[in-house]
């Protein structure tokens, strides 16, 4: 019994002694080397897009988000100057890898909040700011809308913090007019020897000019038969061949656009020797 009492007394004293020992912070005495990080959120994507209306007017638009991830409130309170370089190599590399044909956007000026010398933007962050948007001024209606535009950006310098591995971003500048979009196509393709076949499919109509879009011809878009639809001032529609389409004859009936219902009513043909006639309605989704 005495042995048991002695053992209990030993354990009690051990526990009491342990409670008196100061807790040690494993990080005590170790310097904090973490720093504010400057990054481009769009760098997480292969390519990001900015959509603009094809209006003939100078606009100012956000083109690139820049973030300042401060490690402490005092770091956030510091003013910071960030430099961003234009990087055409990102466009060339993307085109080579994906078989695309983006060209570098050139007809723009620096927007509010930055300066641009033709190569590098200087973007100031005031104390307390953690996100800024690089802005551009441009006239979408003056661009060649048959081309696909992009801009490459690389973070090159900061006077407060470090530059993240998310430093390169590729932005597509998509110019869209009011006719651009997804349409439900219904109608009939009339072949001179094989007979008629119904058309019932979704079609993507893509901007090619201020008042024109490129559309698949009939049900032959997969074979690279396309047409350009231009909406005239009186809402009549002019149709021109695109892709491998050899010609277009639109004298079979009226070709019109109804702005109230956003619907194209079309009747046209191709191949003059033995016309393939197409009568279809395209209604925007």
- Low-confidence winner among 20-24, 70-74, 161-165, 258-262 (lowest mean pLDDT): 20-24
* CATH number, residue 248: 2.40.128.420
pLDDT of residue 145: 82
Mark whether 212 and 125 lie in a shared domain.
Answer: no
Mark whether 62 and 165 lie in a shared domain.
Answer: yes
Mark whether 65 and 157 lie in a shared domain.
Answer: yes
Burial of 245 from C-beta contacts in 10 A (0-12 / 13-18 / 19+)? buried
Determine the Cα–Cα distance for residues 136 and 142; give it in Å rounded to an integer. Answer: 15
Among residues 176, 203, 236, which one ends one of the domains?
Answer: 176
Task: Look at the chain and report how many structural domains it folds into.
Answer: 2
- Within-domain flag for 28: no
Residue-wise burial string across 19-40, b where 16 or more C-beta atoms lie within 10 A, e elsewhere: eeeeeeeeeeeeeeeeebbbbb
pLDDT band at 14 (very low <50, low <70, confident <90, very high): very low
Give the tens place of pLDDT for each residue, 109-129: 999 999 999 999 999 999 999
Question: Who contacts 132 (Cβ-Cβ below 8 Å, separation ≥6)?
Answer: 65, 66, 68, 82, 113, 123, 125
Q: Which two tokens stand for residue 66?
A: 């820049």
> What average pLDDT score do residues 230-252 get?
97
pLDDT band at 250 (very low <50, low <70, confident <90, very high): very high
Q: Would you tell me how many other CB atoms lie within 10 Å of the CB of residue 192?
A: 12
The DSSP secondary structure of 7-73, one letter per residue, reads HHHHHHHHHHHHHTSPPPPTTTT-------EEE-GGGGSS-EEEEEE--SS-EEEEEEEEEEE-SSH
- Within-domain flag for 17: no
Determine the Cα–Cα distance for residues 222 and 204; give it in Å rounded to an integer. Answer: 12
pLDDT of residue 9: 40
């Amino acid at each position: 019994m005495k042995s048991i009492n002695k053992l209990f007394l030993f354990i009690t004293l051990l526990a009491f002694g342990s409670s008196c020992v100061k807790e040690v912070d494993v990080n005590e005495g170790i310097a904090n080397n973490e720093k504010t990080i400057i990054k481009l959120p769009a760098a997480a994507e292969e390519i990001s897009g900015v959509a603009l209306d094809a209006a003939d007017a100078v606009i100012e638009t956000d083109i690139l988000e820049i973030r300042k991830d401060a490690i402490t409130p005092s770091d956030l309170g510091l003013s910071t100057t960030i430099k961003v370089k234009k990087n055409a190599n990102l466009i060339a590399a993307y085109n080579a890898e994906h078989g695309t044909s983006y060209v570098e956007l050139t007809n723009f000026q620096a927007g509010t909040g930055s300066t641009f010398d033709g190569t590098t933007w200087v973007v100031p962050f005031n104390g307390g700011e953690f996100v800024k948007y690089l802005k551009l001024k441009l006239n979408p209606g003056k661009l060649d809308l048959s081309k696909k535009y992009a801009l490459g950006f690389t973070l090159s310098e900061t006077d407060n913090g470090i530059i993240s591995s998310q430093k390169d971003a590729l932005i597509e500048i998509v110019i869209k007019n009011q006719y651009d979009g997804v349409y439900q196509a219904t109608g009939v393709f009339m072949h001179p020897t094989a007979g008629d076949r119904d058309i019932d499919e979704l079609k993507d109509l893509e901007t090619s000019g201020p008042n024109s879009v490129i559309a698949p011809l009939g049900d032959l878009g997969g074979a690279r038969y396309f047409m350009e639809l231009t909406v005239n001032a009186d809402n009549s529609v002019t149709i021109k061949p695109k892709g491998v389409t050899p010609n277009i004859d639109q004298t079979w009936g009226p070709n019109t656009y109804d702005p109230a219902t956003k619907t194209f009513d079309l009747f046209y043909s191709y191949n003059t020797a033995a016309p393939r006639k197409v009568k279809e309605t395209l209604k925007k989704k």
